[in-house]
């Protein structure tokens, strides 16, 4: 036996993703309908558009050379210019009026890398970050690996409850813990995991709050707008970033994975200028630049209109899927007391809550019954941190309508309903049945 | 003015790359011949091969779907299988005999990301890493951001001096500091920056040393084989990894950036199995997988033979460039006392040492004179850490023959020679001349 590995403190506090088990299950279980995976619709990939722009890029010696050589750490300048214009257009502002230019944009390996780099730039062990309850569970992994203490703020139909946030900030100020508060994280459009959107009037208030409570050090807002473009109802709301016209308080991040293709693995962010340099230095050590070819592909798709046409197509595809899932939930669960779900205006997720008699956790009878029936969801507790009393909600589920077709979505929900019936049986008998089935 | 940014300890110890200034200079200076850039030859990019495999991938709905969807954190299984076979073939071993399989391979955003992830997995502030003197300067950035203390071992024509390494290990054991030693880093084929290769008989000794001195905790070897395939003379040497048949002591990393195309930004590593899980958990937080499309492209290039044909072509291209640079060095500097240079059998770099009268640092007269003449190199001191007396060599230079054509390489060396003449003038007069030229 060799001597033990000399792991770092960071490695020791970094766990496997809680959903790895579920991904493995999904792969192993034949005929399973996964409402768990965060994958995207595959029938609508802009394959022909991508093939055409790759052929164009590689068909010209000059553009081929540029796309196949190393890029820069910050990313392809033309794409950064297109991004700043795209985001500012959506907010109805001119880049100059928002103190933004291509110099304030960074391209990353998906928006996930930006979330990670920002954690490195800002967090020491023991620092505090405030998230929505529930929040994006992969971000909890980032916070854990940095040794951060996560506090959470409840949500309602209008997203993060900003009054509750204010109360929490007052409490942190009174206790002196505000000195440890670095950042407030929000997925403010069609949130992963709940599908909820931060109400318009709450957006400027968020900026006001960090200004008011961040007198000694800056408290930053991380606006994760990954789903912004996947809007199926209503109008586009202004970003929180729009209410930060001096570009000092809000990091706006999004991705081309959801509205274009995850295989290109390209995300982006607009950052306060004094933070950008710090993040670039860190990224220089990580990889000195993400895939350059992917950036050139996306730049062409934006330039020739294929990207915006594709987003329009996607809206139709996902709207149909969302409606199929919502219709199935009504069909199957309207008569079941204590089952509620969100009705998202965009994104990829519905958040369903079950009665206290049906815990949904990773070791629950319900999740086993669902696997028997051939359906998988993400247990809601992965999105939560425990509150001050050591508790978290135990009967919630994230249901994704991203990857399955409408018929599978309906069948998946039917299977979940059948699985519920099973849970009503005495626990012992259910476990026995599982044993027989497995054996 | 907003309140100050609440930066982490890690951010505070992370500096800008020392060569950013040089990259900027290269961009700004018209007609400059850069012998500094680590870029690769552009005329030989396998553009048509890449275009063909992209068309094939996207032309088939099933493979298009696989390449455009999210991949896994560890990377495309087929490519991992191809890599383990390729590396084992080069070493003349069967994967099973080396305790290796596709499960032991990870795909990363260039090999740089692997260097970074491994640092996260292993290093706490105050830990010790041993490097060659000089070493890859971007890796010094990784060590700095992790708060690592770097010790170095001299090199000779056979690469890292393993006797000197042994003496250092004995000293660290005597002082008790060996408890802090985590890793020995070597670029063992045609090293960046010197072009030197670790001699064959030193390779098994390195493994013996980490076994002998790593009794209480494992001391790992990071074998950075990024340039292995760019071999112009002699035969391929066995990897250090080959002498670790239980797969417990050596991390072998390499990249497709140098032998294929940096724009695909895909690197890989073979890791001890108990370390792989830790690195995967960390990568899950970074990005949960590098560009999937790029991995599918490379897999096809490996499968259809285009990759090995391209490596063969590249060897010819770079051999010609290397010879052009070496011929120019002989032509221009053979008569100049105290100027020596390495004769690399592969890779992209020649390491030239100047007499004490010609310091080559970033603020030196020589570097200014070179810029005036229109040529740029990387100051050798970026590759060094200070020794126990606070000293480092100040008259070395890294000369890259990767990106320029043979004629430019010869002209670049001529300009360096002219710049030397300038340095012989009294320092004051030179500065005045610079002032006049700038003004």
CATH number, domain of B21, equals: 3.90.1150.10
Q: Is residue A353 in a domain? A: yes
- Residue B101, preceding bond cis, omega within 30 degrees? no
- Whether A254 and A224 map to the same domain: the answer is yes
Q: Which residues of A348-379 are buried (b: 16+ CB within 10 A; e: fewer)?
A: bbbbbbbeeebbbbeebbbbbbbbbbbbbbbb
- Whether B167 and B30 map to the same domain: the answer is no
What is the DSSP code string of B51-66? HHHHHHHHHSHHHHHH
Cα separation, B133 vs A5, in Å, equals 26
Cβ contacts of B278 on chain A, cutoff 8 Å? 5, 7, 11, 14
Cβ contacts of A215 on chain B, cutoff 8 Å? 3
Separation in Å, CA B327 to CA B37, B98, B322:
20, 42, 8
Cβ contacts of A257 on chain B, cutoff 8 Å? 70
Share of chain A above pLDDT 90, in %: 89
Cβ contacts of B47 on chain A, cutoff 8 Å? 58, 61, 64, 68
- Whether A353 and A260 map to the same domain: the answer is no
Alpha carbon of A112: minimum distance to chain B alpha carbons (Å):
5
Contact A192, A152 (CB under 8 A): no
Contact B167, B372 (CB under 8 A): no
Contact A216, B3 (CB under 8 A): yes
Cβ contacts of A70 on chain B, cutoff 8 Å? 38-40, 257, 262-263
Contact assignment for A265 to B123 by CB distance below 8 Å: no
Alpha carbon of A217: minimum distance to chain B alpha carbons (Å):
5
Cα separation, A237 vs A18, in Å, equals 32
Contact B281, A15 (CB under 8 A): yes
**Partner-chain residue, chosen from B109, B218, B278, that has the shortest CB–CB distance to A11:** B278
E strands within B338-413?
340-341, 349-353, 375-376, 378-379, 396-400
Cα separation, A346 vs A196, in Å, equals 9
Q: Across residues A374-394, what is the average pLDDT?
A: 93
Separation in Å, CA B438 to CA A283, B424, B433:
34, 20, 9
- Whether B282 and B155 map to the same domain: the answer is yes
Alpha carbon of A281: minimum distance to chain B alpha carbons (Å):
5
- Whether A100 and A17 map to the same domain: the answer is no
Cα separation, B360 vs A306, in Å, equals 51
Q: CA-nearest residue of chain A to B125?
A: A8
Spatial CA neighbour of A282 closest among B108, B68, B119, B168: B119
What are residue A103's phi and psi, to 5 degrees? -65, -15
| Per-residue pLDDT tens digits of chain B, which is 439 residues long | 789 999 999 999 998 887 777 777 777 788 899 999 888 999 999 999 999 999 999 999 999 999 999 999 999 999 999 999 999 999 999 999 999 999 999 999 999 999 999 999 999 999 999 999 999 999 999 999 999 999 999 999 999 999 999 999 999 999 999 999 999 999 999 999 999 999 999 999 999 999 999 999 999 999 999 999 999 999 999 999 999 999 999 999 999 999 999 999 999 999 999 999 999 999 999 999 999 999 999 999 999 999 999 999 999 999 999 999 999 999 999 999 999 999 999 999 999 999 999 999 999 999 999 999 999 999 999 999 998 888 999 999 999 999 999 999 999 999 999 999 878 644 433 332 222 222 2
Q: Is residue A5 in a domain? A: no
Alpha carbon of A368: minimum distance to chain B alpha carbons (Å):
25
- Whether B59 and B148 map to the same domain: the answer is yes
Q: Is residue A56 in a domain? A: no
Cβ contacts of B207 on chain A, cutoff 8 Å? none
Give the DSSP letter of residue B94.
-
- CB neighbours of residue B12 within 10 Å: 11
pLDDT value for A439? 22
Full-model pTM = 0.94
- What tokens does A296 get? 């050139």
What is the DSSP code string of A101-139? -GGGEEEEEHHHHHHHHHHHHH--TT-EEEEEES--HHH
* Domain end among B260, B286, B307: B307
Q: CA-nearest residue of chain B to A121?
A: B11
Q: Is residue B1 in a domain? A: no
Contact assignment for A217 to B4 by CB distance below 8 Å: yes
Contact B250, B204 (CB under 8 A): no
- What tokens does B370 get? 């070179």
**Partner-chain residue, chosen from A5, A182, A272, that has the shortest CB–CB distance to B274:** A5
Give the DSSP letter of residue A217.
S
Which residues fall within 8 angstroms of residue B428, CB to CB, at 6 or more apart? none
Look at residue A2 and tell me whether its pLDDT is greater than 60: yes
Cα separation, A322 vs B46, in Å, equals 43
CATH, residue B108: 3.40.640.10
Chain A interface disruption, residue of B1, B4, B11, B139, most A CBs within 10 A: B11
**Partner-chain residue, chosen from B214, B249, B294, that has the shortest CB–CB distance to A291:** B294
Alpha carbon of B91: minimum distance to chain A alpha carbons (Å):
23
Contact A200, A235 (CB under 8 A): no
Q: For chain B, what is the domain count? A: 2
**Partner-chain residue, chosen from B47, B58, B217, that has the shortest CB–CB distance to A51:** B58
- Whether A218 and A353 map to the same domain: the answer is no
Cα separation, A99 vs B356, in Å, equals 49
Q: Is residue A426 in a domain? A: yes
Element (H, E) at A97: none
* Domain end among A304, A335, A358: A304
Q: Is residue B194 in a domain? A: yes
Express each pLDDT in A307-332 by its tens digit.
999 999 999 999 999 999 999 999 99
Give the DSSP letter of residue A148.
P
Q: Across residues A408-422, what is the average pLDDT?
A: 95
Cα separation, B278 vs B268, in Å, equals 16
Cα separation, A259 vs B406, in Å, equals 45
Q: Is residue B400 in a domain? A: yes
Q: A424 falls in which pLDDT band (50, 70, 90)?
A: low
Alpha carbon of B166: minimum distance to chain A alpha carbons (Å):
19
The alpha carbon of residue A356 and the mean position of all alpha carbons in its chain are separated, in whole angstroms, by 27
- What tokens does B61 get? 């709905």
Sheet of A340-341, strand order: A340-341, A349-353, A396-400, A378-379
- Whether A233 and A157 map to the same domain: the answer is yes
Q: A333 falls in which pLDDT band (50, 70, 90)?
A: very high
Which of A325-332's residues contact partners 24+ apart within 8 Å by CB, and which partners? Answer: A325/A350, A325/A399, A325/A401, A325/A409, A325/A410, A325/A413, A326/A350, A327/A410, A328/A409, A328/A410, A328/A412, A328/A413, A328/A414, A329/A413, A331/A410, A331/A413, A332/A413, A332/A414, A332/A416, A332/A417
- Whether B135 and B228 map to the same domain: the answer is yes
Chain B interface disruption, residue of A285, A295, A382, most B CBs within 10 A: A285
Q: Could you report the predicted ipTM of this complex, rounded to two decimals?
A: 0.93
Q: Is residue A16 in a domain? A: yes
Contact assignment for B58 to A48 by CB distance below 8 Å: yes
Cβ contacts of A265 on chain B, cutoff 8 Å? 287, 289-293
What is the DSSP code string of A359-375? --STTSHHHHHHHHHTE
- Whether A116 and A256 map to the same domain: the answer is yes
Alpha helices in B261-361 (DSSP H): 273-286, 292-303, 306-333
Separation in Å, CA B184 to CA A79, B154, B244:
39, 13, 15
Chain B interface disruption, residue of A1, A4, A9, A11, most B CBs within 10 A: A11
Cβ contacts of A108 on chain B, cutoff 8 Å? 287
Cα separation, B111 vs B268, in Å, equals 6
Cβ contacts of A113 on chain B, cutoff 8 Å? 286-287
Cβ contacts of A292 on chain B, cutoff 8 Å? 262-263, 265
**Partner-chain residue, chosen from A138, A217, A264, that has the shortest CB–CB distance to B3:** A217
**Partner-chain residue, chosen from A3, A5, A264, that has the shortest CB–CB distance to B293:** A264
* Domain end among B292, B307, B322: B307
Spatial CA neighbour of A23 closest among A439, A264, A377, A426: A377
Q: A425 falls in which pLDDT band (50, 70, 90)?
A: very low
Helix, strand or coil, per DSSP, at residue B119: helix
- Whether B259 and B374 map to the same domain: the answer is no
- Whether B33 and B136 map to the same domain: the answer is no
Which residues fall within 8 angstroms of residue A133, CB to CB, at 6 or more apart? A152, A153, A154, A155, A383, A384, A385
Contact B114, B269 (CB under 8 A): yes
Q: A431 falls in which pLDDT band (50, 70, 90)?
A: very low
Domain that includes residue A423, residue range:
11-40+309-433
What is the DSSP code string of B199-249? -TTHHHHHHHHHHHH-SSSPPEEEEE-TTTT-B-SSPPPPPSGGG-TTSSS
Look at residue A435 and tell me whether its pLDDT is greater than 80: no
CA–CA–CA angle B278, B282, B288 (5° rounding): 120
Contact assignment for B69 to A263 by CB distance below 8 Å: yes
Q: CA-nearest residue of chain B to A119?
A: B8
The alpha carbon of residue A287 and the mean position of all alpha carbons in its chain are separated, in whole angstroms, by 23
Q: Across residues A73-100, what is the average pLDDT?
A: 97
Q: CA-nearest residue of chain B to A115?
A: B286
pLDDT value for B424? 65
Q: Across residues A273-288, what is the average pLDDT?
A: 96
Cβ contacts of B220 on chain A, cutoff 8 Å? 5-6
Cβ contacts of A141 on chain B, cutoff 8 Å? 284-285
**Mutual orientation of helices B273-286 and A137-145 as an angle, nearest 10°?**
120
Alpha carbon of B17: minimum distance to chain A alpha carbons (Å):
7
Q: A426 falls in which pLDDT band (50, 70, 90)?
A: very low
Count the alpha carbons within 13 Å of B388 in the hemisphere toward its beta carbon.
3
Spatial CA neighbour of B252 closest among B207, B202, B194, B306: B207
Cα separation, A84 vs A100, in Å, equals 7
């Amino acid at each position: 036996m060799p001597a033990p590995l000399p792991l770092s403190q960071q490695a020791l506090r970094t766990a496997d993703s809680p959903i790895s088990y579920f991904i493995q299950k999904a792969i192993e279980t034949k005929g399973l309908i996964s409402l768990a995976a965060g994958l995207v619709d595959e029938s609508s990939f802009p394959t022909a558009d991508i093939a055409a722009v790759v052929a164009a890029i590689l068909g010209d010696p000059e553009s081929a050379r540029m796309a196949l050589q190393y890029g820069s750490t910050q990313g392809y300048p033309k794409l950064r210019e297109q991004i700043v214009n795209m985001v500012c257009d959506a907010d109805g502002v001119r880049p100059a009026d928002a103190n933004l230019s291509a110099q304030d944009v960074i391209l990353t390996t998906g928006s996930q890398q930006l979330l990670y780099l920002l954690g490195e730039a800002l967090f020491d062990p023991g620092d505090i970050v405030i998230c929505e309850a529930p929040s994006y569970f992969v971000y909890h992994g980032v916070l854990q690996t940095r040794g951060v203490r996560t506090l959470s703020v409840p949500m309602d139909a209008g997203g993060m409850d900003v009054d509750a946030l204010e109360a929490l900030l007052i409490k942190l100020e009174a206790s002196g813990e505000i000195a440890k508060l670095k950042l407030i994280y929000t997925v403010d459009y069609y949130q992963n995991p709940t599908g909820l959107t931060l109400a318009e009037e709450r957006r400027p208030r968020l900026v006001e709050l960090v200004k008011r409570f961040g007198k000694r050090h800056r408290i930053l807002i991380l606006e994760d707008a990954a789903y912004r473009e996947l809007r199926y109802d209503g109008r586009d709301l202004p970003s929180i970033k729009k209410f930060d016209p001096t570009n000092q308080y809000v990091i706006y991040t999004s991705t081309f994975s959801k509205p274009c293709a995850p295989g290109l693995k390209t995300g982006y962010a607009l950052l306060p200028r004094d933070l950008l340099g710090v993040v670039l230095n860190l990224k220089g050590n990580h990889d000195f630049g993400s895939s350059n070819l992917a950036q050139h592909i996306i730049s062409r798709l934006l330039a020739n209109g294929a990207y915006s046409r594709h987003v329009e197509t996607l809206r139709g595809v996902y709207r149909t899927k969302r409606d199929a899932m919502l219709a199935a939930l009504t069909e199957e669960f309207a008569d079941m007391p204590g089952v509620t779900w969100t009705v998202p205006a965009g994104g990829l997720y519905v958040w369903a809550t079950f009665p206290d008699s049906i815990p949904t956790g990773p070791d629950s009878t319900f999740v086993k019954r669902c696997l028997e029936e051939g359906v998988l969801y993400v247990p809601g507790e992965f999105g939560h941190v425990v509150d001050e009393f050591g508790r978290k909600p135990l009967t919630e589920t994230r249901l994704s309508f991203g990857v399955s077709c409408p018929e599978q979505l309906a069948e998946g929900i039917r299977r979940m309903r059948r699985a519920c019936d099973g849970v009503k049986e005495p626990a012992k008998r259910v476990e026995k049945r599982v044993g027989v089935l497995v054996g």
